[in-house]
Chains A and B, each alone.
Chain A
């Protein structure tokens, strides 16, 4: 398995996937730096006592907005990196003929599968960590938002959790669909999850009656069950800002200007569900791969 794991990493490095991703991320971070500088500058909080409570609240709100913006982008990049690094893992290599030369080797198929998955996951999680720290650092520099280490660690785990889930689903799809078909399928699936999240966020902020909100909530809930990744991002922000205790002090989640906020905070059970969802996808993918004719 270590050979396959190492091969996956080497593939990412040689194909310059990592380099390209890092360069584009750097470009984003530079842009984000200036955005953060503009929004978070103390001088823009006009008319408020810099040491007063209102200014503190305003600074926190701006920092929260910046972090939400940064992680909104970050979640996208991490998700797409996870999907596009793994969507052709089986179908693509089988179509090319690479697998036909590799699998007759004395390596159990489950080891090959897990080696590939672990390769994609470690790379994605490492990238997620770097991005997470960079966004946090930039926001901290320009608009300090007080947080504790436990929240930060928990939020990071939630931020990185889509990586193993998406890689598992993407590899599962690759066992059934062609490389191109799976790429389209995964993009649509992730997009559906994102749409479900947006329906809930925007629906909660619009002046809609309970008659409208109830079915909307049901639809977004069903979509979140099909693709739970967007819900994890919402949970991550909730943990990062400690919305539970903050909600009584300021309207962080209901700012009509903030489309990156969310309506309901996903429960801990939802996170457990997402974990089981990922494990089920991994297990099903393994089962499929063990029986696949090549």
Chain B
């Protein structure tokens, strides 16, 4: 088993207003891409800030490749794109990246090679010669990515890396994340863009109200429930009741699917396997309904997220 790159053991930060995060315990393996999800105000950024040394934990401990969080050796291992980012607007983009390179201890020759390439990679290119004050928010976010990567760190913490980007920019960032992963870097991705998390991350954790609510492998999370949909004709409420009774399965009408013009109705059921789907098919036909279409509908991370936090208090919305 590879060494854990990111370890949090009962990490807690409690602010005076009751916010923060409590008793967070996670381990991210080296080379893994880890998605950190949660509603606004859940405490995700606080956790990341503790890991990069911006916020002092109230209790608990954490390490980055064995180095205590907040220590200089641990800071040498990380690149960080903050959620709230601004860069020295009196510098050019290239100067900002060079400044971060110097702070990381990158020598001048290495910086000369690395900085132009990074600016190209994040889509800034020759605009690196412009002052940051002329940059849009999206450009500043790209600049932040370049700054996070200029020290060639083995661990990268990215807090909403594409929140200010247009669709093309988001796609570019997703490709960049995939490249980082392919290079063997550990990526800790804090994002609301669940498509990115789904595409890039190996594992995820869901935080709500300062605590880890769920965690697991993305593949497992998405296969936890196999949801099937059936398009049927000649439907009646009595038929639905009969199907439920006979099959013993939670058959229902999905809220987002209305009836078609021809009167056909979509039915939906969470099934454990394909045998159950076959059994349900047979019952629909036996009941005299017309079966137009049937098939599995894999759950997206978005609906997993929505289901997981449904009915819970979200601190970000409570203010």
Contact = CB atoms under 8 A, between A and B. Distances in A.
Contacts of B147: 101
A43 interface: no
B312 interface: no
Given A291-B56, A294-B54, A3 B99 contact: yes
Interface in A78-109: 96-98, 100-108
A14 B90 CA distance: 6
Contact of A14 (B54, B81, B91, B105): B91
Contacts of A14: 90-91
B100 A105 contact: yes
A102 B73 CA distance: 16
Nearest to A103: B54
A291 B105 CA distance: 24
Nearest to B102: A3
B219 interface: no
A98 B54 contact: no
Contact of B80 (A3, A104, A108): A104
Nearest to A96: B86
A108 B80 CA distance: 16
Interface string A3-40: 10001001100110000000000000000000000000
Contacts of A3: 99, 102-103
A100 B54 contact: yes
A98 B105 CA distance: 19
A293 interface: yes
B18 to A, nearest CB: 15
A3 B82 CA distance: 21
Interface in A82-138: 96-98, 100-108
B55 interface: yes
B104 A106 contact: yes
Contact of B88 (A98, A100, A103, A106): A98
B257 interface: no
A11 B131 CA distance: 13
B52 interface: yes
A105 B86 contact: no
Contacts of B78: 104
B1 interface: no
B85 A106 contact: no
Interface string B44-84: 00000100111110000000000000001101101011101
Interface residues of A, number: 21
B54 A106 contact: no
Contacts, number: 66
Contacts of A104: 52-54, 75, 78, 80
Contact of B103 (A11, A98, A106): A106
B101 to A, nearest CB: 10
A112 to B, nearest CB: 9
A294 B80 CA distance: 14
Contacts of A7: 88, 99
Given A97-B85, A293-B56, A102 B90 contact: no
B20 to A, nearest CB: 10
A111 to B, nearest CB: 10
B135 interface: no
Nearest to B71: A106
25 contacts: A3-B99, A10-B91, A11-B88, A97-B84, A97-B85, A97-B86, A100-B49, A101-B80, A101-B81, A101-B85, A101-B86, A101-B147, A102-B103, A104-B52, A104-B75, A105-B75, A105-B100, A106-B75, A106-B105, A291-B56, A293-B15, A293-B54, A293-B55, A294-B49, A294-B55
Interface of B: 15, 49, 52-56, 72-73, 75-76, 78, 80-82, 84-88, 90-91, 99-100, 102-105, 144, 147
Given A3-B102, A104-B52, 19 more contacts: A3-B99, A7-B99, A10-B90, A14-B90, A97-B84, A97-B85, A98-B87, A100-B54, A100-B82, A101-B87, A101-B147, A104-B75, A105-B100, A106-B75, A106-B104, A106-B105, A291-B56, A293-B49, A293-B54
